[in-house]
Amino acid sequence: MDYDALMHTMRRLALEAGDKIMEIYHADDFDVRAKSDDSPVTEADEAADALISDGLRAAFPDIALVTEEQSDTHDLDVKDFLIVDPLDGTKEFIHRRGDFTVNIALVEDGVPTRGVVYAPAKNRLFFTDANGQSVEETGDFAKASIGTTKKIHVSDPDTDALMVVASKSHRDQATDDYINRYSVKDSKSAGSSLKFCLVATGEADFYPRLGRTMEWDTAAGHAVLNGAGGEVLRLDDLQTLTYGKPTFANPFFVATAPGIDLTPV
């Protein structure tokens, strides 16, 4: 695998998809409909999916591709694949709250090893470099060339004063009950895969998710967190969350910096 070519392509496609999403985001109105599972989908989801899928298939035709918007057509039994959520945080997009992301990742042997998370409304771009180290790029994002980057790393948690981030749209009593097991100094809410990135940069120590997610929701953020020294663990047995599962559904999990004495659920 040419990781350098892969990351340049993934980054460029995420930026191009972000431009398309923001065009629709700033329109007076846009189409919203319900999918078969009653979750919302917009014309921005579909436009970004088409752009990214076409780009990845052209550049890497021999690698299997999984995307949220084409998930009904997937019947894959593979451990190596590209996986895309073209617009993670559709509810945030619909309500124009800004906490939505473009997610593209490579999964190898069930593990997300490279990923891009782009939050176009927040002007934040996170990705793994060719070596798997996670960085945040700042400034004006030129599609052809990478600008100023800084390496990111998870926190060294103070277990007596933890910083936690939780879902903005899906926080519930079960999540609060789990968080209350720990000595928490502060709690913040964020949408989409930005929560993984806040743990990756040390802005939060851990992110528990006691709710439904799919692999395309988590793979890119998981890759970024891995490359920053963090980990994503199943909450039932505290083993590493893996990918390529039947139906691509995730169990409950926690994304965390090492050093927290976690408890299973």
110 annotated ligand binder: no
Angle, vertex CA 191, rays to CA 188 and CA 194, nearest 5? 85
The phi, psi pair for 18, rounded to 5°, reads: -60, -40
85 annotated ligand binder: yes
Report the alpha-carbon distance of residue 219 to residue 227 in Å, rounded: 12
Closest C-alpha to 67, from 95, 93, 41, 92: 41
Report the alpha-carbon distance of residue 49 to residue 104 in Å, rounded: 10
Report the alpha-carbon distance of residue 108 to residue 263 in Å, rounded: 28
**What 3-state DSSP class applies to 34?**
strand
Give the containing element (helix H, strand E) for 43: helix 43-59
29 annotated ligand binder: no
233 annotated ligand binder: no
Closest C-alpha to 39, from 82, 76, 73, 68: 68
Angle, vertex CA 162, rays to CA 156 and CA 163, nearest 5? 95
Report the alpha-carbon distance of residue 83 to residue 102 in Å, rounded: 11
87 annotated ligand binder: yes
Report the alpha-carbon distance of residue 178 to residue 264 in Å, rounded: 10
89 annotated ligand binder: yes
| Binding-site annotation, residues for substrate | 68, 87-90, 217
| Binding-site annotation, residues | 68, 85, 87-90, 217
| Binding-site annotation, residues for Mg(2+) | 68, 85, 87-88, 217
